[in-house]
């Protein structure tokens, strides 16, 4: 059984022929995970910066919670989101269960702690460098955070990418809240789980290779954007 070779061959065939099902689930994977990364970054990056800049009694506690949440099993997050958005749950009236929106929400919960934690470390180092200057110039709290976020943007992009990496490869939560419905909420990872369950290892591997390729492409793309941006400004 030469599954890896078969998988690679099948992956190449699917990509070259632009298999419509593959295009559909890949597009949904990207939409859900990029959307989740975007939302989680909007929460996690300022939160990380805020934790780096402010000293308050519960700070260590909050950081400990963040680090603990980083290891939260996606299945647990999926279950919690399911219970919340089930028709019998408190947010059931929204009718969001088994939609891509619910998948985005679950992934936001999973990756926000990662993004916030990585951002916190990066911003903490930058804050050590900038501290005296920003205090001397009487920058307000908001101005300090804005400055640190802007000047630390490359490190923060790394934080967001770490979040994206976790999101695009995540299966436990989106399986539960998305339901892996064909043509509606099926993404690469849940399709891989499905094919594996059928014993179709070649197909599962092929989708796995597409997933890896996609993650690399997104990383390269962002790297390229950040390079052109640097070239223009410095």
Partner 1 sequence: MTFKSIVLGTVAALLTTTAAMAEEMKMAVTTSFANSGLADVLLPKVKEDTGIDVQLLIVGTGQALALGAAGDVDAVLVHSRAAEEKWLAEGNGTHRTEIMYNDFVFVGPQEDPAKAGGAETATGALQAIAGAEAPFVSRGDDSGTHKMELRLWKAADVTPEGDWYKAVGQGMGAALNTASGMNAYIMSDRASWLKFANKGDLGIVFEGDPVLFNQYAYLPVNPEKHPHVKTDLVNQLEAWLLSDKAEELINAYTIADQQLFVYNAAE
Partner 2 sequence: MSGWVSLSGVTVRRRGRTILGPLDATLNGGGLTILMGPNGAGKTTLLRVLHGLERVNTGDVHWTDPKDADGRSQGFVFQTPVLMRRSVLDCIAYPLLLDGVSRTQAREQARAHAAEVGLTVNLDQAVTFLSGGEKQKMALARALMRRPRILFLDEPCANLDGRSVKEIEEILHRIKAGGTRILMSTHDMGQARRLADDVLFLHAGKLVEQSNGDDFFRSPRTAEAKAYLKGEILL
Buried b (16+ CB within 10 A) or exposed e, 22-31: beebbebbbe
Residues 74, 171 contacting (CB under 8 angstroms): yes
With CB under 5 to 8 Å by kind, the binding choice for 225 among partner 1, partner 2, none is: partner 1
**Of residues 23 and 135, the one with the C-beta less far from partner 2:** 135
Q: Does residue 179 belong to the site contacting partner 1 (CB under 8 A)?
A: yes
Rounded Cα distance between 209 and 221, Å, is 18
With CB under 5 to 8 Å by kind, the binding choice for 200 among partner 2, partner 1, none is: partner 1
With CB under 5 to 8 Å by kind, the binding choice for 92 among partner 2, partner 1, none is: partner 1
- Token pair of 185, please? 């909420």
Q: Does residue 200 belong to the site contacting partner 1 (CB under 8 A)?
A: yes
CB of 141 to partner 1, least distance (A): 26
Answer for which of 143, 225, 227, 230 binds partner 1 (CB under 8 A) is 225
Rounded Cα distance between 74 and 85, Å, is 16
CB of 170 to partner 2, least distance (A): 32
Q: Does residue 155 belong to the site contacting partner 1 (CB under 8 A)?
A: no
Residues 128-167 that bind partner 2 (CB under 8 A): 129-130, 132-133, 135-139, 143, 147, 151-152
Rounded Cα distance between 234 and 224, Å, is 15
Rounded Cα distance between 139 and 132, Å, is 11
Q: Does residue 234 belong to the site contacting partner 2 (CB under 8 A)?
A: yes
With CB under 5 to 8 Å by kind, the binding choice for 216 among partner 2, partner 1, none is: none
Convert residues 104-133 into a mask of x (bound to partner 1 by CB under 8 A) and - (unbound).
x-----------------------------
- Token pair of 213, please? 């390729």
| Residue located via tokens 């999926």 | 78
Answer for which of 53, 180, 187, 205 binds partner 1 (CB under 8 A) is 180
- Please list the alpha-helical segments (H only) found in 93-152: 100-136, 141-151
Half-sphere exposure of 61 (CA within 13 A, CB side): 3
With CB under 5 to 8 Å by kind, the binding choice for 55 among partner 1, partner 2, none is: none
Residues 18, 216 contacting (CB under 8 angstroms): no
Q: Does residue 88 belong to the site contacting partner 1 (CB under 8 A)?
A: yes
User: How many residues touch partner 1 (CB under 8 A)?
Assistant: 32
Three-state SS at 171: coil
Residues 185, 177 contacting (CB under 8 angstroms): no
Binding site residues, partner 2, CB under 8 A: 126, 129-130, 132-133, 135-139, 143, 147, 151-152, 233-234
């Amino acid at each position: 059984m030469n599954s890896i070779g078969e998988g690679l061959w099948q992956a190449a065939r699917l990509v070259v022929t632009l298999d419509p099902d593959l295009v559909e689930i890949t597009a949904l994977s990207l939409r859900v995970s990029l959307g989740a990364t975007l939302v989680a970054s909007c929460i996690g990056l300022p939160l990380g910066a805020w934790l780096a800049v402010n000293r308050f009694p519960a700070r260590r506690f909050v950081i400990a919670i963040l680090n603990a949440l980083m290891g939260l099993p996606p299945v647990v997050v999926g279950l919690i989101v399911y219970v919340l958005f089930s028709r019998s749950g408190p947010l059931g009236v929204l009718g969001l269960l088994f939609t891509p929106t619910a998948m985005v929400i679950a992934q936001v919960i999973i990756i926000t702690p990662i993004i916030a934690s990585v951002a916190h470390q990066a911003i903490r180092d930058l804050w050590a460098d900038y501290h005296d200057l920003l205090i001397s110039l009487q920058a307000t709290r908001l101005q300090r955070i804005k400055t640190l976020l802007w000047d630390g943007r490359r490190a923060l992009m790394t934080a967001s990418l770490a979040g994206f990496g976790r999101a695009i490869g995540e299966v436990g939560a989106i399986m539960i809240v998305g339901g892996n419905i064909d043509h509606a909420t099926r993404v690469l990872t849940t399709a891989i789980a499905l094919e594996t369950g059928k014993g179709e290892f070649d197909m599962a591997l092929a989708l796995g290779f597409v997933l890896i390729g996609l993650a690399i492409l997104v990383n390269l793309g962002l790297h390229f954007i950040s390079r052109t941006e640097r070239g223009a400004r410095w």
